[in-house]
Amino acid sequence: MSSTRSKIFIACTLASSLAISACSNSNNDEKKQNTLTASAPATGEASNLSERNTQQRLINTLQQHFKKANINAKVLDIKVTEVPNLYWVNLEGMSSVYATADGKYIIQGDVLRLGDSKIHNVSENLQSAANKKLLADLKTEDLLVYKAQGKTQHIVYVFTDASCPYCHKLHEHMSEINAKGIEVRYIAWPRGEQFMPAMESVWCSADRQAAFNQAIAGAPLPPATCKNPVRAQYQLGLNMGVNGTPAIYNEEGVYLGGYLSPDELVQRLNN
């Protein structure tokens, strides 16, 4: 998948340029250097000027490191996490990462807290807040929408690909999902460049639903002949951390899962 190759390339580039280690801590001798240290505990929200200044210095440090390593990534936002001296970094053009307070190390992937009956994803609330804004900016005319039957109880956003077997399986239950009061908004997310033309053809069709039904059944479609948002939607998925389809989100930007049966989907939404 192109997203996987992209992540591997970024990880390898950063590893060679910034000496990344997924479980690294700064050595004592590194304190001799002009590094950044969080001046307030990581409590989940920057609440004073000192902390905001620390975050701004961290942004500047990360941007300098990215530029030096020829990495085209822009820091959009930084927030403290519950882990001391570990920050959540929202990036433009790639999935969010974690960064140490000195800006020397970044971590790709999830940081999980143990100790409770359920494993807690440290960045879940931070990521979902960013996702919510991105999803809210989407125009419904750029999506493939299946409206709820009767009163709309929930709206979900689903990154989908016509070539994906589990997307096909989910789509087979569309009538049942809609009957449960759930509106489904499909976002195009071709899993590779070879699948891009089919999704562009769907989005360029006068009747997108009919075209998607045809494409997901494996039938060929005429080549795309319009300006379409498919590549932009693919990039949106990368920004949100999508790495496979289907990927289902609620309106709050919370990731609900991949393939879910109608009953499982209702349960996740109600929880």
Cis peptide before 246 (omega within 30 of 0): yes
Helical H runs in the chain?
A: 2-18, 49-68, 124-136, 165-171, 174-179, 196-203, 208-216, 230-240, 262-270
- Name the residues annotated as catalytic: 161, 164, 167, 191
Q: What proportion of the chain, given as a percentage, has pLDDT over 90?
A: 65
Torsion of CA 256, 268, 76, 1, to 10 degrees: 0
Contact 62, 103 (CB under 8 A): yes
What pLDDT sits at residue 14? Answer: 43
For the cut 50, the answer to whether the pLDDT of residue 38 exceeds it is no
For 53-89, the pLDDT digits (tens) are 888 999 999 999 999 999 888 998 899 999 999 999 9
Q: Kindly report which listed range (23-37, 113-127, 201-215, 252-266) carries the lowest average pLDDT score.
A: 23-37
Q: For residue 203, give the amino acid letter.
A: W
Here the tokens at position 241 are 């951390």
- Per-residue pLDDT at 42 exceeds 90: no
What is d(CA 170, CA 262) in angstroms, rounded to the nearest whole number? 8
- What is the dotted CATH code of the domain comprising 141-270? 3.40.30.10
* pTM of the model as a whole: 0.73
pLDDT at residue 187, rounded to an integer: 98
Predicted local distance difference test score (pLDDT) of residue 47:
53
Neighbouring C-beta atoms of residue 119, cutoff 10 Å:
10
- Tokens describing residue 216: 């997901």
Write down the pLDDT at residue 12.
40
d(CA 9, CA 93) in angstroms, rounded, equals: 14
pLDDT at 45 over 60: no
- Per the listing, tokens 């409206």 go with 147
Radius of gyration, CA atoms only, the chain: 21
Distance, CA of 181 to CA of 265 (rounded, Å): 11
Q: Are 245 and 257 in contact (CB under 8 A)?
A: no
- Which pLDDT value is given to residue 252? 96
Would you state the pLDDT for residue 123? 86
- 10-19, 155-164, 234-243: least confident range: 10-19
Residue matched to tokens 């994803």:
121
- The average confidence (pLDDT) of the chain is 84
| Residue ranges of domains in the chain | 2-129, 141-270
Query: What kind and span of H or E run contains 180?
Result: none
Share of the chain above pLDDT 70, in %: 83
Mean pLDDT score, 14-27: 35
* CA–CA distance, 150 with 162 (Å, rounded to integer): 27
**Is the model's pLDDT at 179 over the cut of 70?**
yes
Question: Over 90: is that where the pLDDT of 92 sits?
Answer: no
pLDDT at position 34 over 50: no
Least reliable range by pLDDT among 37-41, 196-200, 209-213 = 37-41
